[in-house]
Structure formats: C-alpha cells, structure tokens
Amino acid sequence: MTGRYRFISEHHALYGVARLCRVLAVKRRQGYYEWLAAEPVRRAREADDEHLAQLIRQIQADNRGYGSPRITAELRRRGLRINRKRVERVMRERGLAGITRRRRRS
C-alpha cells in the first residue's frame, strides 16, 4: 500500500489524487492524506533507528560481537527503553550480526 501512496505523491500534480486512487484501486483517498501527514514521524523513526545502529556498532566493537539479546541488555543498562525485536530489526536491516561460536563436544 505504501508503494501506491508513494506513486500517488510523485504523480498527483499531473493526474490528481482522486483519479490516481481510483486507477490504483486505493479505496480511501483519505488514507493517502493520512500517509502523507505521517511523513515527519517516519523520518524521525528513521533517524532514531540510525542512531540506534550507531550504538549497536559501538557495543559490538567493544564486546566481541554481541548478538541482539546481549545488546538489548546493554542498551537497557545504559537507560534506553527498547525492545529486543527492534534491535533485531535494526541489526538485520544493516547487516549486523553477532558472532556465533560452536559448542564443544566431548
């Protein structure tokens, strides 16, 4: 759906929002305007995620390649309220991964 809204925002000057919504089978024109109004929030979240990625890189460099559970614990010790799933998503999007070690077998 966001791809359709992005297309409408790029071409609304040529064809109009109502016509583009009808052609792209977007049921509510109001949904486009709600998506458009949420742009500052999306940009702020992207900036927060980038700041979080920098913190994750720093923690991984200091602590031998921690994974998401330990990074989440470290961020919480530093005073951030953060969910492990968000840390996992940011790490996955930026290609960051913890070091996995094999268990010893006897």
- Residue 12: inside a domain: yes
- Residue 106: inside a domain: no
- Residue 104: inside a domain: no
pLDDT digits (tens, 9 = 90+) for 18-34: 899 888 888 878 888 89
pLDDT digits (tens, 9 = 90+) for 42-91: 999 999 999 999 999 999 989 888 889 999 999 999 999 999 999 999 99
On whether both 8 and 46 belong to a single domain, the answer is no
- Residue 76 belongs to domain spanning: 41-93
71 with 56: CB under 8 angstroms? Answer: yes
- Tokens 């470290």: give the residue: 74
On whether both 25 and 45 belong to a single domain, the answer is no
- Residue 105: inside a domain: no
Q: Which residues contact 98 (CB under 8 A, 6 or more apart)?
A: 60, 65, 66, 67, 68, 70, 71
On whether both 45 and 63 belong to a single domain, the answer is yes
How many structural domains are present in the chain? 2
